[in-house]
Amino acid sequence: MNPRTLRVLEYDKIQERLAQHCAFSGGVELVQAMLPSDDLDTVREWLAQTAEAHRLLEQKADVSFGGVRDIRPFLDKAERHAMLFAQDLVEIRSTLQRARSLRNMLLHLEQSFPRLADLAYNIEPCDHVIAEIGRCINDRGEVMDQASEALARIRQELRVAQERLLSTLDRLVHSPDIRPYLQDALVTQRQGRYVIPVRAEYKGQVEGIVHDQSSSGATLFIEPLKVVQQNNAVRELELQEEKEIRRILTELTELIADEAIYLRRNFQILAELDFIFARARYAFALEATVPEMVPWRPVAEAGDDGQVEFQHPGSVIDLRRARHPLLDPERVVPIDVYLDDETYIIVITGPNTGGKTVTLKTVGLLALMAQSGLMLPVEPGSKLSVFEGIYADIGDEQSIEQNLSTFSSHMTHIIEILEEADPRSLVLLDEVGAGTDPDEGSALAMALLDNLRDRGITTFATTHYSDLKLYAHNTPGVRNASVEFDVETLSPTYELSIGLPGRSNALTIARRLGLNPVIVDRAETMVRPDALQAEALLDDIKRARQEALQASERARERERQIQALEADLRYQLAQIEEARRSVIAETRAQMQAELEEVRQEVEQIRRRLAQGGSLGGAHQEFLARAQQTLSTRQRSHGEVDPQVIVPGNAEERLAGPIEVGDRVWVPSLQASGEVLSVNPRADEAEVQLGNFRLKLPMKRLELRQKAVRESAPAPKVRVQAGAVHESPGMEFDMRGERVEEGLEKLDRYLDSAYLARLPWVRIIHGKGTGALRDAVRAMLREHPVVGEFRAGDLGEGGDGVTVVKLIDEGS
């Protein structure tokens, strides 16, 4: 990628901000070395990695690289056979522990985050290195006694020798023969020897070796002759301890040198993961999304005469609500930048400070970011091609040393661009043709754009020249765009409008600023009539376009209101239908109950008459007719389907069960839809009706069209679940039960809990020896109604309780 373009578009500032989201120096180095790629597959892979890290951080904000250090200097030192210090080894262990932790986490989430898992898979756990360093050195960087048997023995002997020495010295400093000559009754160390402080004037009164004196000379630090041998013994043991520690550290250094190739690879993978997660964190800061990187479209074919009017290179730029990433997100104005199938050169006009240059930088910088694997501050659905070269001539870079004017500087850069650019490039030209005579500059600008157009190079250019507006309007492949200016407030709006050129607001601004109207009127008479007519026509077009946009927005708002009203109406109809059915069901139940009471009374009368003697023929006939009438009425009030007959619904109702994918008719809502799921236990189905999903009873659905299925796999049934059973309770206490009998009872309890539709239960088995707990959990792993289980939390009974989540109906 062109280095000057990276500088002009401030790519280095993106790197600086991205580096702030890295956790350690390895990631920062990768950010500093980051460059855009011109390979579509590579860019897509980078963006996919960033997107995975972004999704993972949404789910687990605690992903951390804490404890990771730059261990490469330690590895280099070990490979040179220079002994590592204990603190160096602690940092190596900390880095390896974090690498192992990240590896385990990402491999556990492999199905959801395969690209991150692929990287983590290459991390070498190095468990033996972590264990050996941890066995020998604690977190404070101290070599522990257990590092070797010899070190443990030496330190034990050293502690005994020090205790004896200090005991002897303590007796001396408190002895009445020596105490008067001491500065303080204490024991200290000088040059590795234990000494006592003696006042200088009494040095002859204490026999011993002088090792040091105070800065004032008033105190001498003397090793009494009585403890010289004990001091020697302590010092010898200290030297043995230092020697043994060096031997242990040397062995650990050799271990690190042997594993250096794996440790260095682990560091490189950690750095790459840190780089990826930094890109994801930066995306959160920018409120960014993943752009779709698309291949270049096929170019237009030549006609029958072998020629085409212009050759579109096939580039795709569709940036929706794009924001410049370096501007204040609270103040930056989003813009829509796009190329259609017939345009690959955009000419942007508008006032100074109106946002033309920002538009160029936004397009160029976002393209560079996307090709670096960074998510962009754009709305979802944005698309970009991968450009093999991005070239920008932006800003005034005149050189006094080289005696180059502004125009010469621009021309120098443009010549370089024209030599390097090809149809797979993106060219950004700011104020093309500026810095010289307007007529010549305008002609030169049109010639430059013609050259880029003929070569099929995607270009964005800004200009103040009015002639370029007409050029863009009349030239195939070229299109006008403008940045808006509010003449009421005399300030730019920074909004980009593609399809219309910018207006010249000089006379309007002068008039509003209070310039003498006579002067403004005189200036208007000097302007070419066709220019004034074009400005007036442009003003009308913009006004008409604004009105069309407002009308379109009003239409969308009305559509949203209509959809909301329709949804509300459908809901009310559903509620009314439900209430109607409820009333019918209650009335039918009441009538059935009353008929049953009458039937029972008739039966009682029959039995009384039978007990009193034989029934007469008339009585017998009367009771038989009454019984028959009651039976007839009960049947007539039996299963009546109160469906609404819908006029005009000509589709034939099909017989058979309703299944997922079937098309059904909902009479109460006057609508048809597709079955998304079926709940046999609740005898209901979830149906997609237009933009709405509703759960409806099966009896309210009419099957109209069966789903087309390639094969019909047998349904998976774990436990036969009929109607809802009485709940056996949320807890089952097994304490005191024998294992076999307890497991049988537990099996029956789980079946009852599942049939009662309990979501979860608590099994109390106690802690004890753990035999009953282990048997219970072994059974739960195989039980068909158990979805998952866990040990109880501290407030739930701890390991004496197992909390079981039962499968739901769809599992």
Q: Which residues are annotated as a binding site for ATP?
A: 350-357
Closest to 19 measured CA to CA, from 266, 277, 209: 277
**Minimal CA–CA distance to 664: which of 680, 645, 640, 688?**
688
**Phi, then psi, of 482 in degrees rounded to 5:** -150, 155
Q: How far apart are CA 359 and CA 484, in angstroms?
A: 12
Q: CA 784, CA 775: separation in Å to the nearest integer?
A: 16
Q: Residue 144: CA atoms inside 13 Å, Cβ hemisphere, count?
A: 12
- Residue 606's H or E segment, with its range, is helix 529-611
Give the span between the Cα atoms of 467 and 472, in whole angstroms.
Answer: 9
Please tell me whether residue 481 adopts helix, strand or coil conformation.
Answer: strand
Q: Which helix (H) or strand (E) holds 808?
A: none
Report how far residue 671's alpha carbon sits from residue 84's, in angstroms, rounded to the nearest whole number. Answer: 78
On whether the CB atoms of residues 773 and 799 are closer than 8 A, the answer is yes
Cα 798 off chain centre by: 34
Q: What residues have CB less than 8 Å from 429, skipping those under 6 apart?
A: 360, 392, 393, 414, 448, 459, 460, 461, 462
Angle between helices 86-108 and 114-121 in degrees, nearest 10: 140
Q: Where are the alpha helices (DSSP H) in 10-126?
A: 11-19, 25-32, 40-59, 72-79, 86-108, 114-121
Backbone Cα Rg of the chain: 44
Give CA–CA dist 744/724, Å, rounded: 22
How far apart, in whole angstroms, are the C-alpha atoms of residue 484 and residue 490?
Answer: 11
**Nearest-angstrom CA–CA distance, 53 and 47:** 10
DSSP state of 760: E
